[in-house]
Amino acid sequence: MDAAVLVVAANEECPRPQTAEHLAAADLMNLGRYVVIQNKVDLVSEEDARKSYLDIRTFTQGTGAERSPVIPISAQLGYNVDVVCQYIVEQVPEPEHNLSLPPLLNVIRSFDVNKPGAPFEELKGAVMGGVLESGLLRIGQRIEIRPGLIRAKEDGSRYYQPLYSRVVSLLSDTNPLTHAIPGGLIGVGTLLDPSLGKNDGLVGQVVGVEGSLPEVFQEVEVKYRLFRRLIGTAEGEKVEEMKAKENVLLHVGGNSAVGVVTAVKAKTHRLIIKLTHMPICAREDQRVAFSRHAGKDHWRLVGFGRLTRNCRRMPRAAAADPLLDPSPTAL
């Protein structure tokens, strides 16, 4: 993303656990461009608003948002919303994007947009929503989606089968586009079976031009660093060293993959993580973050790092599946 808006409620304690975690995650991406909003100032006294402002300043010290302005607003009443818009337009610098690179899109949402009972001839393909990391995506462009579908052989070993399609529509919110560039969320309409996109079924996939996408890994080595304290907890408890056989949630691009730590090399700060469900499509040296299991269905962000060259690839299907690759060569 080009920038982030950090919203803090003036009538609540700052920071809330998830707010601290989100800011830490944004800092891991080296975002560096923030607008900090102090919302709900209409619900507090002037004295409490000043105290909230000082709390926000203390919270953002040492982060990428430290030098960002804190704009007091009431979103409900519309106070100062115009100031926020003006600041974003005039003061947030637009980063340079290399549009000559191959397009690479991280999928963070996917949908089946067809209504129940729609006639066959009116069916629309799966729609993917995500962030274009690099390059230019155009309507009519042939795309590859990795890792696609995960298959299993009789011996239990797994391999991936990429999906192929064409871009039939591009949307930014409700605005149709002829092409898309990095900076903001876009929706990509495809010719894929709509059931593939249902209930976010394509989340974590990576989209790009055929042959240009990164490798697919089922086991990764991460050169890592741990936070000193657990982010998002009132106590700020110390983060313990990683342990073998520990479950982790690895965050890569738009993907969050469950895995288990198979080895910890504490002296060289390296982890080996075997991905137990879905593999990841990622490039070597890509920045990642990881969370530790903290009770039922809860994860806490505890560290970050980069993938090394020692990641183990997942085998690819030996031949294209005509049902998944509608190109003339596949047919």
Q: What is the pLDDT of residues 112-143, one digit of tens each?
A: 999 999 998 999 999 999 999 999 999 999 99
Per-residue pLDDT at 127: 97
Among 34-38, 144-148, 230-234, where is mean pLDDT lowest?
230-234
Last residue of some domain: 46, 67, 91?
91
CATH code for the domain in which residue 154 is found: 2.40.30.10
One domain for residues 155 and 231? no
Number of domains in the chain: 3
Q: Does 284 fall in a domain?
A: yes
Per-residue pLDDT at 20: 85
Region 159-181: mean pLDDT is: 95
CATH code for the domain in which residue 36 is found: 3.40.50.300
Per-residue pLDDT at 58: 95
Domain range for 62 is 4-91
One domain for residues 191 and 120? yes
Segment 141-162, tens digit of pLDDT:
999 999 999 999 989 899 999 9
Segment 249-259, tens digit of pLDDT:
999 988 999 99
Segment 297-310, tens digit of pLDDT:
688 888 999 999 99
One domain for residues 236 and 162? no
Q: Does 331 fall in a domain?
A: no
% of the chain surpassing 90 pLDDT: 71
One domain for residues 191 and 258? no
Assign 105 a pLDDT band (cuts: 50, 70, 90).
Answer: very high
- Please enumerate in sequence order all residues whose Cβ is within 8 A of that of 100, keeping only pairs 6 or more positions apart, or say none: 135
Q: Does 328 fall in a domain?
A: no
Assign 2 a pLDDT band (cuts: 50, 70, 90).
Answer: confident
Region 18-40: mean pLDDT is: 86
Last residue of some domain: 209, 243, 272?
209
d(CA 205, CA 46): 48
DSSP result, 200-215: GTTTT-EEESTT-SPP
Q: Does 125 fall in a domain?
A: yes
One domain for residues 188 and 266? no
SS percent in the chain: helix, strand, coil, step 5: 15, 40, 45
Assign 91 a pLDDT band (cuts: 50, 70, 90).
Answer: confident
Contact 170, 137 (CB under 8 A): yes
One domain for residues 150 and 222? no
Per-residue pLDDT at 233: 61
Nearest to 127 by CA among 182, 201, 181, 183: 201
Amino acid, single-letter form, for residue 295: G
Per-residue pLDDT at 330: 44
One domain for residues 108 and 189? yes
Q: Does 174 fall in a domain?
A: yes
Residue 153 DSSP SS3: coil
Per-residue pLDDT at 95: 79
Q: Specify the pTM.
A: 0.84
One domain for residues 254 and 288? yes
Q: Does 237 fall in a domain?
A: yes
Contact 202, 136 (CB under 8 A): no
One domain for residues 9 and 57? yes
Question: Long-range contact list for 23-26, CB < 8 A, 24+ apart?
Answer: 23/59, 23/60, 23/63, 23/65, 24/63, 24/227, 24/231, 24/301, 25/251, 25/289, 25/301, 26/64
% of the chain surpassing 70 pLDDT: 94
Q: At what angle do helices 17-28 and 46-60 cross, to 10 degrees?
A: 40
d(CA 90, CA 84): 10
292: pLDDT strictly greater than 80: yes
Per-residue pLDDT at 234: 57
329: pLDDT strictly greater than 80: no
Q: Cα 150–154–158 angle (5° rounding)?
A: 25
One domain for residues 195 and 175? yes
Q: Does 18 fall in a domain?
A: yes
Mean pLDDT for the chain overall: 90
Last residue of some domain: 69, 91, 113?
91
